[in-house]
Structure 1
Amino acid sequence: MCGICGIINITKTEPVSQVILKRMTDAISHRGPDGEGFYIDRFAGLAHRRLAIIDLSSAGHQPMISENGQFILVFNGEIYNFQELRSELEQAGHRFNSNTDSEVILISYIEWGEECVIRFNGMFAFAIWDRLNDTMFIARDRYGIKPLYYTLTPKLFIFASEQKAILEHPDVKRSVDFEGLIEYFTFQNFFY
C-alpha cells in the first residue's frame, strides 16, 4: 500500500503550499514508510508516500517524472500485467529507467493517453499531471480496491488515498452533509 495526494488550484490565483501538502502526506504516512516525495508546479502539487515492493531502488521514487519532463505521476497499487505492457511499449520504442509498474503506467499514458486504463489489469489509483497543458488525469481501478477520494472547493480540486489527508487542507470544511449521510446509510454508497 502507498499513499497519494494532490492539490490543483483551479483558479490559478495562488501557488500550492508545500507545507499543506506535507501535512496531507503526514496524515497518511502509515501507508508508505519507505519514503515520501513532492512535486509542485505553479498551481498543482502532487505528493506520495512509498511502500517499496516491486523495485526497491531509488528508481521507483515518486512523484515520477517522464523523460521529457511533461508528465508527473503519483501511483498507489499494483499492475499485474505490467511486464507484458512494458514489452509492448519497448517494442514501440520506449525506454525504461526502472523495473516498476509505476513507470509502465506513466509511459502507457504517454503512448495511449486516457485509454491506457483499459489495458491495466490490477488494483490502482493514480494521478498524472501534464505540466505543459495544465491538466490532471486521475483514475482508479474498476472496483475501487485502491481508494481515491476527492473534493472540489470554489478554488481547489484536492484528492488523496484517505479522507483524513484531504481534511488537512484548511479550505476543506469539516461538516456533515446530512443528505449524503442518509443516502449512504440507505444505499451504502453515494450517487452524486
Structure 2
Amino acid sequence: MCGIAGVLRLSTDMPVDAVVLARMTGALVHRGPDDEGLFVSPARACGLGARRLSIIDLAGGHQPICNEAGDVWVVQNGEIYNYKPLRAELEACGHVFRSESDTEVIAHAYEQWGAACVERLWGMFALAVWDEPRQRLLLARDR
C-alpha cells in the first residue's frame, strides 16, 4: 500500500516547509517504492506528499494529482473500486481527465460534489483533498 503525508498551516507566521514535507514523505519509502510526489500550495498553507506503490495506471497515476484547473489536489492510499463508473458520470458532466488513475477521479468528484463525494466512493482508502480556492483540507477514509 502507498503512504501519504501532509502538513496544514494553522498560523500565517508558520508556512508549510517543503523540506520537512519531503522528509516526512521520504520516511514512507517502504510504503511506496515506485514513485514519490510533493505539492505545496501557492500560499504555503498546505502540503501533501505521497509514496506510491503503483497498482492502477502505472505510468499516469503520479500523486499528488489535481483536477484540470489545478486548484484541487489529492493524495490517497488505497483503491477506489467504483472509479470507472464515477469517471464516466464525471465525464458526462464535462470533466476532462489526464490519466486513468482512480485518484484523479477523487479530484474531479470533489470538484463536482464537494465533501459529499466521499459518500460516492466505494473501496479501501484514506485520502486528503486540498481545495485551494476555499483553503480547505478534507480528510476521509473508507467506512
TM-score, length-normalised on structure 1?
A: 0.71
Which segments of structure 1 move beyond 3 Å, counting only runs of 4 or more? none
Aligned to 2:10: 10
The answer to whether 1:20 aligns with 2:20 is: yes
Query: Percent identity, aligned pairs only?
Result: 52
- State how far apart, in whole Å, the 2-side matches of 1:5 and 1:74 are: 8
Aligned to 1:94: 95
- State how far apart, in whole Å, the 1-side matches of 2:134 and 2:93 are: 24
Render the CA deviation track for 1:96-128: whole Å, top value 9, x for unaligned: 111111011111111111111111110111111
The answer to whether 1:49 aligns with 2:56 is: no
Measure how far apart 1:10 and its partner are: 0.9
Which segments of 5 or more consecutive residues in structure 1 lack a partner in the other structure? 143-192
Which of the pair has more CA radius of gyration? 1
Query: Secondary structure of the residue that 1:60 maps to in structure 2?
Result: coil
Q: Number of residue pairs matched?
A: 141
RMSD of equivalent CA atoms: 1.0
Aligned to 2:67: 66
The answer to whether 1:124 aligns with 2:125 is: yes
- State how far apart, in whole Å, the 2-side matches of 1:96 and 1:81 are: 16
- State how far apart, in whole Å, the 1-side matches of 2:2 and 2:28 are: 9
Query: Secondary structure of the residue that 1:25 maps to in structure 2?
Result: helix
- State how far apart, in whole Å, the 2-side matches of 1:87 and 1:43 are: 33
Query: Secondary structure of the residue that 2:129 maps to in structure 1?
Result: strand
- State how far apart, in whole Å, the 2-side matches of 1:115 and 1:65 are: 18
Aligned to 2:82: 81
Which segments of 5 or more consecutive residues in structure 2 lack a partner in the other structure? none
TM-score, length-normalised on structure 2?
A: 0.94
- State how far apart, in whole Å, the 1-side matches of 2:110 and 2:134 are: 14
